[in-house]
Structure 1
Amino acid sequence: MIELKDLDTSAPFLAQLQGPDDGQPITLVNVFVAPEGTVEEVIDIWRQDSFIMKAQPGFISAQLYRGIGDSRILTNVAVWENLTSLWNAFSREEFQKTLTLYPDGSIAHPIVVRKVAVPGVCVA
């Protein structure tokens, strides 16, 4: 089973998911650490849980990244219409069951973020 760990203890992931929701798009960034020798298995399970998420209202997109070389780091970047949509999808029993499929020792560091406008560099 995968273990969820907070990257930012001042904004725990589960507290972020529970609102408040201003109706604006959000991005879930989830950095996984796969146990040694299980990267392909973790990718396959991510694929399974992604099919569940893709079918949920408010899902926009997802992309999985893998660290270069022998890295065991995988990063999921998923965009949602709003926080409530992500919370509803995450809370579904069907999705929660997939979390138990990950190999023991799998760790996820999820955080919900929004684009930031930085003048001269990027737009929100």
Structure 2
Amino acid sequence: MLNFGNLDESTRFRDQQKEKTGPVTVINTFVAPEGKEDEVVAAWADDAEYMKKSGSLLSVQLYRGIGGSRLFTNIAVWKSTEHLRAALGTPEFASHLERYPAGTVAYPHLYQKFAVEGVCEGE
């Protein structure tokens, strides 16, 4: 079963989803239980396939920490918070959470591009 943590206690993932905006990027870091990394990847791949079928997921990429790290980070771009909320709110998605090995913790947070003059562009 997947458990959730918060990177920023002042701005929880569930509350971020109430904003009506888009596109949005979910950056979600998973901590895999020791020895269960392959199971976490399999569960994540199943989730990603499900989300891709929604038609609202614009892109998705999984990153893995190096040097024996048990961290995985998913970066997924969605059309909007409404589309993301709809995909997360289905009973089918809820059943996917049970496929993660016990002790797996996820730290999802929503972001949007942010412009810094002379360095990077915003939306």
Runs of 4+ in structure 1 displaced over 4 angstroms?
none
Residues paired across the two proteins, number: 122
Residue equivalent to 1:25:
23
User: Is contact 1:57-1:85 (8 Å) kept?
Assistant: no
The alignment partner of 1:78 has SS state of: strand
State how far apart, in whole Å, the 1-side matches of 2:4 and 2:20 are: 22
How well do the aligned residues superpose, as a CA RMSD in angstroms?
A: 0.8
State how far apart, in whole Å, the 1-side matches of 2:77 and 2:86 are: 14
Deviation readout 1:67-108 (Å, 9 max, x if unpaired) = 002100000000001000000001111111010111110000
Question: Please, what TM-score do these two structures have when normalized by structure 2?
Answer: 0.96
Cα distance, 1:116 vs structure 2: 0.2
**TM alignment of 1:1-124, pairs within 5 A:** 1-17=1-17, 19-22=18-21, 24-124=22-122
State how far apart, in whole Å, the 2-side matches of 1:72 and 1:103 are: 13
State how far apart, in whole Å, the 2-side matches of 1:27 and 1:81 are: 9
State how far apart, in whole Å, the 2-side matches of 1:59 and 1:121 are: 27
State how far apart, in whole Å, the 2-side matches of 1:100 and 1:90 are: 14
